[in-house]
Amino acid sequence: MTLRFGTIDTPIGGLLAVLDDGALVRLAFPEEDAESVLESVADAMGGPLRPGGVARLEREMDGYFAGRSRSFSSPWSLALVPGGFSRRVLERTADIPYGAVATYGEVAARAGSPRGARAAGNALNSNPVPIVVPCHRVVPSSGGIGGYGGREDRKEALLSLEGAIRPPSLPRRA
């Protein structure tokens, strides 16, 4: 087991990426404490962490944020997610195509629990590999964009980048 890590600069902030044998297992937003994230992953995965090894994912993130790429070919893993409903929610979320959205209820139903919209939301809030497993593409059936563990302004920016929502209007100058 080789755990590697690095920070990827993006328009939504520096994302801490942790890979296990080349597969992304954790992507952390800037406000998350990097030391705590690294310690948690090392404890869960049972291995030492070494810097580097994120260049391929960094190139893919660059392409995604520049609008040149609609998917990620770098391997990823849900090794940090226990089996069961939470894992099924994330697996079904990974199937939502670029530029599309699904409701929490739809994702819950696809994961085997048609009445589990709230539980699906909890699973998505714990997504260890956001953006790559696009939890930002899950919205409430009542309208709007809903919450996001990486902040709602980021969710809006990601959905806007993908064309799933219209970009917010700029304020008019007086």
Position 132 scores a pLDDT of: 98
The closest alpha carbon to 111, from 128, 80, 132, 135, belongs to 135
User: Which one of 1-5, 116-120, 145-149 scores highest in mean pLDDT?
Assistant: 116-120
The structural architecture, per CATH, of the domain 85-161 is: Orthogonal Bundle (1.10)
The closest alpha carbon to 127, from 154, 157, 162, 166, belongs to 154
Give the separation between CA 57 and CA 72, rounded to whole angstroms: 8
pLDDT in tens, 67-107: 999 999 999 999 999 999 999 999 999 999 999 999 999 99
pLDDT in tens, 59-74: 999 999 999 999 999 9
Position 174 scores a pLDDT of: 52
The residue-averaged pLDDT of 127-137 equals: 98
58: pLDDT strictly greater than 90 = yes
Position 168 scores a pLDDT of: 58
The residue-averaged pLDDT of 151-166 equals: 92
Give the count of alpha carbons within 13 A of 86, CB side only.
13
User: What is the pTM for the complete model shown?
Assistant: 0.92
Exposure letters 128-166 (e unless 16+ CB within 10 A, then b): bbbbbbbbbbbbeeeeebbebbbeeebbbbbbebbebbe
14-18, 43-47, 51-55 — which is least confidently predicted? 43-47
Give the separation between CA 160 and CA 168, rounded to whole angstroms: 8
The residue-averaged pLDDT of 120-126 equals: 96
Residue 24: phi and psi, rounded to 5, are -65, 125
Catalytic, out of 12, 37, 89, 135: 135
Report the amino acid identity of residue 148. Y
Residues 24/17, Cβ–Cβ less than 8 Å:
yes
Position 165 scores a pLDDT of: 87
Q: Is 135 designated active site? A: yes
| Average confidence score pLDDT of the chain | 94
169: pLDDT strictly greater than 60 = no
| Confidence grade of residue 1 (pLDDT, cut at 50, 70, 90) | confident
Helix (H, G, I), strand (E, B) or coil at 76: strand
